[in-house]
């Protein structure tokens, strides 16, 4: 795997396949956009922060679209920009907000997590399914989490939302069986990115850093992006239903090796 910036797409490197990556302004989304561009895709980088995705799109020869996946009108603009055919959709936009117990959690945080992790996937998938179908060989990769497979204290809202992502993925695969569209989920474990834990703990750097304290070599965004790129480049008849990816130091959600 390489973490060097992708060479901008040119006419002799691509077969005109288009990929959409939501949440492309940072972390796994930005790394995935670079990885798919390196494979020859024309990448539509979608996120709310226009300045970041414009810089990324310029770097990889892609297209920047300001998009809030929780807003159907914004998603419709994304679909119009994509056009009639789409080969790959990576539903990466998501997030965790707060770490309260079920007893103390702010319902607004839970609502926001459901909106982006579940309804966001729904809005974007509904809008882009016609273009995926028209390509004759479409792929949807939903970015879930190991939190979508097991519960843990203080994570009720996030685990509920990511369980939702998983079930939406499974249901969609059943409903599209027989059509030329593959449906996959990638479920990362402990990934250290610039923003995920910082957002979850409302900007508290000490709490965010404590998540990874003593953990030798947690995953980084490029590790997950490399796996997504691998899924996207399998032969058309090969569907990777789900791929759980963790660092070696994390044997399970509750079992993490930490060095003193």
What is the structure's pLDDT at 207?
78
What is the structure's pLDDT at 211?
84
**What are the angstrom distances between the C-alpha of 58 and each of 18, 37, 46, 62, 88?**
16, 12, 13, 6, 20
Question: Taking a C-beta distance cutoff of 8 angstroms, is the pair 74, 46 a contact?
Answer: no
- Which residue in the list 114, 152, 158, 212 is annotated as catalytic? 158
Q: In the chain, which stretches have pLDDT less than 70?
A: 1-15, 197-198, 201, 204
CA angle at 231 for the pair 75 and 53, rounded to the nearest 5°: 40
The pairs formed by 59-65 with CB atoms below 8 angstroms and a separation of 24 or more are 59/5, 59/6, 59/8, 59/34, 60/5, 60/6, 60/8, 60/9, 60/33, 60/34, 61/7, 61/8, 61/9, 61/10, 61/37, 62/9, 62/33, 62/37
Calculate the dihedral angle through the C-alpha atoms of 120, 121, 127, 129, rounding to the nearest 10 degrees.
180
Has 158 been annotated as catalytic? yes
What is the structure's pLDDT at 5?
36
Helix (H) or strand (E) holding 27: helix 27-38
Question: Taking a C-beta distance cutoff of 8 angstroms, is the pair 112, 94 a contact?
Answer: no
pTM: 0.90
What is the structure's pLDDT at 201?
67
């Amino acid at each position: 795997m390489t973490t060097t910036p992708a060479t901008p797409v040119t006419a002799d490197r691509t077969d005109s396949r288009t990929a959409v990556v939501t949440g492309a302004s940072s972390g796994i989304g930005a790394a995935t956009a670079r990885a798919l561009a390196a494979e020859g895709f024309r990448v539509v980088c979608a996120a709310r922060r226009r300045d970041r995705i414009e810089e990324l799109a310029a770097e990889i020869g892609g297209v920047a679209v300001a998009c809030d996946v929780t807003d159907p009108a914004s998603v419709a603009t994304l679909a119009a920009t994509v056009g009639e055919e789409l080969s790959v959709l990576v539903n990466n936009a998501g997030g965790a907000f707060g770490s309260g117990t079920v007893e103390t959690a702010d319902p607004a945080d839970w609502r926001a997590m459901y909106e982006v992790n579940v309804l966001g996937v729904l809005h974007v998938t509904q809008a882009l399914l016609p273009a995926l179908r028209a390509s004759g060989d479409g792929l949807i990769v939903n970015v879930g989490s190991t939190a979508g497979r097991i519960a843990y204290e203080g994570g009720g809202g996030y685990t509920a939302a990511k369980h939702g992502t998983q079930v939406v993925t499974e249901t969609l695969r059943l409903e599209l069986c027989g059509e030329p569209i593959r449906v996959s989920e990638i479920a990362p474990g402990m990934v250290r990115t610039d923003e995920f834990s910082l957002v979850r703990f409302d900007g508290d750097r000490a709490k965010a850093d404590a998540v990874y304290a003593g953990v030798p070599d947690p995953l980084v965004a490029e590790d997950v992006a490399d796996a997504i790129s691998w899924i996207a480049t399998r032969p058309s008849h090969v569907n990777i239903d789900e791929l759980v990816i963790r660092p070696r130091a994390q044997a399970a959600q509750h079992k993490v090796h930490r060095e003193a």
